[in-house]
Amino acid sequence: MTTVIVEPGEPFEVALRRFKKQCEKAGLLSELRKRQHYEKPSVKRKRKALVARKRAKRRERFVD
């Protein structure tokens, strides 16, 4: 659970920015999008394999 305590005299926009940053760091929005629709196990495997290939390709570039 992400909570933000608003300090006295702190603008609402600053507190909202801190809340958004904490939500992003916790990965709440990506988790919500992931759970929004059912994903077949075969599609999930393909997506994970694609991510792994991209990660390996990126690492390969920086090994030089």
Measured CA to CA in angstroms, residue 2 lies from 7, 18, 24, 64 at distances of 16, 10, 10, 41
pLDDT in the model for residue 30: 87
- Report, as an integer, the average pLDDT of 7-15: 94
pLDDT (mean) for 29-57:
93
Q: What are phi and psi of 5, to 5 degrees?
A: -95, 120
Q: What is the pLDDT of residue 64?
A: 60
* Mean pLDDT, residues 42-46 taken together: 95
Q: Which amino acid is at 26?
A: A
Across the chain, mean pLDDT equals 91
Gap between the Cα atoms of 50 and 36, Å rounded: 21
Whether residue 16 is predicted with pLDDT greater than 90 in this model: the reply is yes
pTM score, whole prediction: 0.55
Token couple for 59? 């690492």
